Structure 1
Amino acid sequence: MGWLALLVLGLLSFGGLVTLRVPRLLWSVVGAALMLGATGYAVQGSPLMPTRAARPSAERVADDPALTDLRDRMLGRYTGDGAYQVAADAMTRAGDDKAAVQVILGGLRRVPNSLLLWNGLGMALTAHDGNQVSPPALFAFQQAARLGPEHPAPPFFLGLAYVRAGDFAKARPLWARAMTLSPDGASYKRDIALRLALLDRYLTMAEQR
């Protein structure tokens, strides 16, 4: 798993410090850098997922089974508009971000008030635009929020888009709002709380560097 890979990396780094006889005063600096990287990985990825062999660059961070499962628990999957999202997911896995966007746009022409599809369009556009929250992507997330002002999905996934863009400070209030909007007892509330805690830790460590 991802945590095992991180542990091995940490042990190798420690061995390198000893072998190279790096002064102990510098060990804390190296340790802090490793911890910062590990926390960032936990925020953006799914460290509990099994490791896999490297695959072509067409598979990107947008294709994350754990996050897909989280989205499905928040927004549903087996619905009329969900079929378009499933098709878009397949396009994303195939590395065709443009096709994913087109599939969701086709769904929105049929179901223009779908919170699921507007949210999905925001994520698809973010991936298509190089993991950047472009104005069209932001507009899509805003439309999702307009349709579901009390739903945690739009702020959570907009926050995720900012995390993937490297703008962690913008993500923090969005994830906090998603946490507030999540009903007690919802299966996904713990997932949001975990990511929010990891993000807070990452931001704190970044400030201390």
Structure 2
Amino acid sequence: MTGWIGAFLLAFVALAALLWAGRVPRATWELVAAAVLCGIAGYAWQGSPGLAGAPRTAADQSAPFDESLAEQRRALGERFGKAGQWLVLSDGLGRQGKTQEAANVLVAAVRQDPKDPNLWLGLGNALVAHAGGVISPSAEFAFHRAMAIDATAPAAPYFYGLALAQSGQLDNARKIWAPLAMRLPEGSKLRTELEQNLQMIDSRLGGS
């Protein structure tokens, strides 16, 4: 009911402003009134005046920045140098919830230095973050570029598999992680983590 009262009050104020303050010619008053009534009709058709208000802010829409993920990337990849500077800038934007800008920074970075696997890896992660944790074709392309440039580094396949797993593509994640775990030193922290992840995936796939 409150929604309808507000709608009619706004319509009345708008009509009064147009007729008097706007000095609309008297001959067109009926046309103006008809336009306002059409607006009310449109509100009745498309609106939901009976629903409670639910205001949204920009902070509500942005996904929280994953600090632990960024720290893992820094531990496995480059912390310093030119690539590190680009990644720090992108991370800073990500912490502010500006995921599009964070990805755009790394798009510019890979254009400037297309042979740096750390930049392609960072771009893949940034695109996944911008998509709310879902891996997109562009993110897959970025991960594949990172793996093609440096086939021996564990960072790109690790994060690619992680993105696949988070997107629900468990079988594909297993195909990436299993060979990576096999070539890592036994007892290493990353291999232990991957073996645990693979056990969970096998459990999930076996029970599905």
Under a length normalisation based on structure 1, what TM-score does the superposition of the two structures give?
A: 0.63
Equivalent-residue separation in structure 2 for 1:111 and 1:178 (angstroms): 26
Q: Deviations over 1:176-203 (max 9, x none)?
A: 2332343568xxx413422431342243
Which stretches in structure 2 are left out of the alignment for 5+ residues? 1-58
Aligned AA (2:108):
G
CA drift at 1:152:
1.1
> 2:181–2:194: 8 Å Cα contact kept in structure 1?
no
Cα distance in 2 for residues equivalent to 1:192 and 1:89: 26
Q: Deviations over 1:98-140 (max 9, x none)?
A: 1011110121222221100101111111222332222211111
- 5 Å-filtered alignment, 1:9-48, equals none
After TM superposition, the structure 1 = structure 2 runs for residues 36-75 of structure 1, keeping only pairs within 5 Å, are 56=60, 58-60=62-64, 63-75=65-77
Runs of 4+ in 1 over 3 A off after TM superposition: 180-185
Equivalent position of 1:163 in the other structure: 165
Matches within 5 A, 1:81-100: 81-100=83-102
How well do the aligned residues superpose, as a CA RMSD in angstroms?
A: 2.3
Distance 1:197 1:101, change over 3 A: same
Once the two structures are superposed, what CA deviation does each residue of 1:148-199 show, in whole Å capped at 9, x if it has no partner? 01111111111011112121221112122332343568xxx41342243134
Larger Cα-atom Rg: 2
Structure 1 alignment gaps of length 5 or more: 1-54
How high is the sequence identity, in percent, across the aligned residues? 30
By relative contact order (CA 8 Å, sep 6+), the higher-ranking structure is 1
| Total equivalences in the alignment | 150
Q: Please name the residue that 2:15 is paired with.
A: none
Q: Could you state the TM-score of these two structures normalised by the residue count of structure 2?
A: 0.63
Indicate the residue corresponding to 2:192 in structure 1.
193
